Structures are given as C-alpha cells and as structure tokens.
Structure 1
Amino acid sequence: MHTAAGPRPVATARRTPWAGTLLAALGVVVFSLTFPATSWALEGMGPWSVTTCRITLAALASLGVLLALRVPVPARRHWGGLAVVAGGTVVGFPLLTALALRTATTSHAAVVVGLLPLTTAAYASVRSRTRHSRTFWAASVAGAVVVAGFALQQSGGAPGLGDLYLLLALLVCAAGYAEGGRLAGDMPGWQVVAWGLVACLPLSAVGAAVALGAEPVHFTGRSVAGLLWVVLGSQLLGMAVWYRGMALTGVARASQLQLAQPLLTLVWAVVLLGEHLTPAAPLAAVAVLVCIAVTQRSRR
C-alpha cells in the first residue's frame, strides 16, 4: 500500500443537496434495521461475539477494497479523528447496544437512541465552538426529559443496566458521527468508515477468536442473517452512504433525516420481532422527534 501526504480533499463548493439527501435517507433506513438485526444475531451468538465478528468481517472487506484501489494512507493529522470514529461507531456503539439489547427491548432502545441527533449536535457545537439559540437548548432539555421519563416508566421506576449501556452508546456514537462528518470534508465518506475499521482489525480479530471460544454459538438462519446485515448493511453500506450524504448536503441537513430513525425501528420491531408496543413507546418517540426537530430548525 502506498503512503502519501494525505488523501485528496473532497470538493465542498459544489454540493448536490438532493443527491446528498437521498444518500443520507438511505443511510437512515439501513440504520433503522440495526437493532432488529442485532437482536436476531444475538439469538445465535453472545454480544461480544456479535460485536467482534461484525468489526472483523467488515474490516477485512474494507482492507480488501483499500488495497485493490491503492488508496493512500490518510495523513497523520487525520488519525486522531479516525480513532474517535473507530472508538465511537466501529466499537463503542455496536458493543454497548448489543449489551443493552440483552435486557432492553428493541422498541425501548429505539426511543432512547432517538436522542442521538441531539447528542451529535451537542458534541459538534462544543467541538466547533458553535453557539445555539435558547430555543435549541430548551427543546434539547425537553427531549432529554421525555426520554428519561420513558426509560424510567419502562424499567418500573428505576433505570436499568440496559439504559446505562444505551446512554454510553449515545455519547460515543455522537463523537464518532461528529468526527466522521468533519473528516468527510477531507476524504470520501466510505474511506472514513474503511480506515476506522482497518484501525480496529488487529484487536477485533483477536477479540473474535476469544469471544467465539468463550460464548456459546448456535447459528440459525435468523442469527446469520442478522450478523450479515450488521456487517454489510449497518457497518459498511449504511455508514458509507451516510458520510457521503453529509459531505454532499451538509451535516445539519443530513442529521434532520435521522430524526425518522426511531419510528422506523419501532415499525421493524413489530414486523420482524413481533414486539408489542406500549402506548408510551410511539408517543415518546414522536415527542422526541418534535423536540429534536425544533433544535434542528433553530438558528445559530
């Protein structure tokens, strides 16, 4: 593999909003299936096996593409951001949500993770030192109160271990999304995903070998289908089109589309997993979407 001073910057002057919107929307649809697919994968594998195999398989595919296309190694200044992408979206979010889904339902997790656009915006505002209006922060607090109330109601009045995992997943994924969106201005979005995966390959390969030996494995058709989706769909296709969409249409516009993700996941939870939603779940999801929509529409 050839080294170079850095990847060729992506042109940002000529943005195509509609193409970017369609790509980002495709990414949201793919992401909305992540929780149901993870639940399927967990039927045949443990959470550590699902996570490490997901990373390893996706990293091997990414490495093959990078080598085939002779993509230059990113410049040194980009590796800090790539490390955050790897820690947040490659390792942290998949592992923490897999652990959460052992005790939390898919519909419950979907509503809690509905705050992901908000946490991403908060991280990005701190990272870029951007100030938002009072309306933005008022809606942010309202959304947080709705989510906290729903989580407490679903857990019988006290937060469960799954909620802790989901909260940590929100924080690390927000950092990964924000850093990935920033890096997508300097290199193609799919390369941001690919290099983040490759950076994790040595540890993930060892982790997969250990996890598969320590956790029970009972492959079924649904568990294999779930694992393949989180590898090919969520980890590769979804992230690639998501970052590309952000590069074309802008991070703010793309993040608005992700507001539909919790509702889509609730639909998949009913259709694919046979879950029965309580009246609070869709109401909480809609309330969260309204709150986050206000934050996205408020001016800086």
Structure 2
Amino acid sequence: MSRLASTPTATDATRGLLLGLAGVVMFALSIPMTRLAGGSAEAPQLAPAFVALGRAAVAGGLSLAYLALTRARRPQGREWRLLAFTAAGVVFGWPLLLGLAVRHVDAVHASVISGVLPLATAVIAALVLRQRPSAGFWTCALAGLGLVVGFAAWRGAGALELADGLLLGAVLCASAGYVSGARLSTGLTAEQVICWVLVISLPVTLPLAVLTRPAAPVAASAWLGFAYVSLVSMWIGFFAWYRGLALGGTLRVSQVQVLQPFLSMLFAVPLLGEHLDAMTVVFALAVLAVVWWGKRQPIH
C-alpha cells in the first residue's frame, strides 16, 4: 500500500503537522505583504497588476528550473486544461483581485473576509465531485458567508464596498483553483502541479509584468513585500503545505488552515501598524469557529 493510502506513522504525522503549520504561517503573511507591496489608495506603491503578474513571473522562472532539474514528466491530455483552469484561479484571479482590494481596505479587514476560503473550497469540491454534503455542512457554509457579509457591512457603515466584492471574488477564484489543482494531484505530484501552473502562465505573466513595472521609484518596503509574495506565497509555501499534507494526512493537517486568517490579522499589526478592535476579533473568531465546525461535518 502506498504512503498516501496508508495511515501515517507517528513521526510522519508530527512532521506533516509541523510542515502544514509552517505553510499556513507563510500563507498568512500573504495579505499583509500584498498590502505592503501595493500600498494604499492614499499612498500607492507598486501597481496591483505588477504585484500579481510579477510574483507569478518570478515564481514561474524558479518553477521552470525546478521541473528541469527534477526531470518532471510533461502533463498529458486533460491535465493541460486543468492546469489552465488552476492558473486562472490561483495565478491571475486571486492575486489580482486581492491586490486591488487591499488598496482600499486594510489587511485586517481582508483577512476576515478571506477566512471563508476553506469552506468555499469545500463547497466547490462538493459540487464538482457531485458529493452530498450534510445539512450541517451547508448550515456552516451559509453561516460563514453571512458572517463575512455582516462584517463587511458593519465596517462599511451599513453598505458593502467594491473592495468586499473583489475579496469575495478572490476567494471564489482561489477555491476553484485549489479544487482543480487537487484533481491534478492524482497524476502529478503536488509540487509539480504548482510548478506547471506557473510555467504555463509565463508567456502571459512575464511580458505583462515587464509592461506594468513601476516607472517611478517606490519604497524599499514595497519591494520587500513583493519579494515575499513572489518567493514564499507563490512558491516555497506550497512546497511546505503540500508536503505536510502528504506526510501527515490531508484531513488531519488541513485543520490548521483555520488559523490562517487570524494569523494574518496578527501579522498586520506590527508589519503595517494596523489596529485590531474588539468587534473585528469577535467576527474573526466566529468565522474561525464556523470554518472549523464545517470541516468536521460529513460529506457523502
């Protein structure tokens, strides 16, 4: 029996959990670092389009080297279509919509809205795979959506802002990309999936990144944020996360993902000088609880 199909040993389970947690910590910094790279509407830095496309171009170049060094096999047949769909979600949709959104809302706000990402991924997976989620799962999914919409309306003084729509669109793109990427992992290793996704995107990301590069100097901190999302959020983080899932078991290790939005909020305070008020923490904890409970509901 293969390692993926067998019960992980105690050592592998611990290593997998630690690697999974490391991946979540790396991903949790993505929203604050995207805000750092792009700046705000009042003090803009790198253009959101350059941040989104440039990070993919940098990671794509590294992926090309990785695939060549490991002599990875080429995708075949329907795998090309799934790779293109995954790229549309995680290479273009998520980074671009997130970058546009955090120009107008702070990273703490974006972290709460994106907290429903695990539930959204589960919903799309259930629909694509024609599974039958339990009533408890759908209750949690609707409760999570209601919480983030209620939070957005509260922060918007009773009205939803365009940035909130962009954030929900980013969550939808990422969820769809994660599901199609997971389907590819049955034939390719998880590391190969993200690398091929980035490589097939290079003919688009590289020239557009050059065209959208900054014409005027920007702060060094913006370049620091860009370097992080390019090297860690778009590449290294996936290696740690996927390896953790493989070693420790997907069901067990994926539970730590519920901590991601809360960690993003905590990172935004020292990195960006943002403020955490009590009501935002309450909403974040409520979303975390709903997502955690939703992941425990049966899907047949």
After TM superposition, the score normalised by the length of structure 2 is 0.91
The reply on whether 1:116 has 2:108 as its aligned counterpart is no
RMSD between aligned alpha carbons? 1.7
Q: Give the counterpart letter for 1:117 in structure 2.
A: P
Q: Say which SS state the counterpart of residue 108 (structure 1) adopts.
A: helix
Q: CA deviation at 1:250?
A: 4.3
Counterparts of residues 23-102 of structure 1 (less than 5 Å):
23-43=19-39, 44-102=45-103
Q: CA deviation at 1:278?
A: 2.4
Gaps of 5+ in 2: 40-44
Report the equivalent of 2:188.
187
Q: Say which SS state the counterpart of residue 72 (structure 2) adopts.
A: coil
Report the equivalent of 1:198.
199
Q: Say which SS state the counterpart of residue 277 (structure 1) adopts.
A: coil
Q: Give the counterpart letter for 1:81 in structure 2.
A: L
Say whether the 8 Å CA contact 1:96–1:168 is kept in structure 2: yes
Report the equivalent of 1:287.
286
Q: CA deviation at 1:11?
A: 5.5
% identical aligned pairs: 38
Q: CA deviation at 1:142?
A: 1.4
Q: Give the counterpart letter for 1:293 in structure 2.
A: W
Q: Say which SS state the counterpart of residue 104 (structure 1) adopts.
A: coil
Report the equivalent of 1:3.
none
Which deviations, in whole Å up to 9, do the C-alpha atoms of 1:173-224 show, x marking residues without a partner?
0011122223223222111110000011011111112212xx5442332112
Q: Give the counterpart letter for 1:282 in structure 2.
A: V
Q: CA deviation at 1:249?
A: 4.0
Cα distance between partner residues in 1 of 2:253 and 2:94: 20
Report the equivalent of 1:20.
16
Cα distance between partner residues in 2 of 1:208 and 1:28: 27
Q: Say which SS state the counterpart of residue 75 (structure 1) adopts.
A: coil
Report the equivalent of 2:269.
270
Q: CA deviation at 1:66?
A: 1.3
Structure 1 residues 125 and 178, CA gap change in structure 2 (3 angstroms): same
Cα distance between partner residues in 2 of 1:135 and 1:148: 20
Report the equivalent of 2:239.
240
Cα distance between partner residues in 2 of 1:247 and 1:183: 15
Cα distance between partner residues in 1 of 2:52 and 2:165: 18
After TM superposition, the score normalised by the length of structure 1 is 0.91
Cα distance between partner residues in 1 of 2:247 and 2:158: 44
Structure 1 residues 218 and 280, CA gap change in structure 2 (3 angstroms): farther
Report the equivalent of 1:228.
227
Cα distance between partner residues in 1 of 2:171 and 2:3: 30
Cα distance between partner residues in 2 of 1:253 and 1:122: 19
Structure 1 residues 13 and 251, CA gap change in structure 2 (3 angstroms): closer
Which deviations, in whole Å up to 9, do the C-alpha atoms of 1:205-248 show, x marking residues without a partner?
11112212xx5442332112111110111000112222333344
The reply on whether 1:149 has 2:145 as its aligned counterpart is no
Q: CA deviation at 1:83?
A: 1.5
Which deviations, in whole Å up to 9, do the C-alpha atoms of 1:23-58 show, x marking residues without a partner?
222111100000111111114311111111111111
Q: CA deviation at 1:79?
A: 1.6
Number of aligned positions between the proteins:
289
Report the equivalent of 1:255.
254
Q: Say which SS state the counterpart of residue 122 (structure 1) adopts.
A: helix
Cα distance between partner residues in 1 of 2:7 and 2:247: 5
Q: CA deviation at 1:109?
A: 0.2
Say whether the 8 Å CA contact 1:139–1:295 is kept in structure 2: yes
Which deviations, in whole Å up to 9, do the C-alpha atoms of 1:245-271 show, x marking residues without a partner?
334444443432111001101100111
Q: CA deviation at 1:132?
A: 1.6
More displaced stretch, 74-83 vs 152-161: 74-83
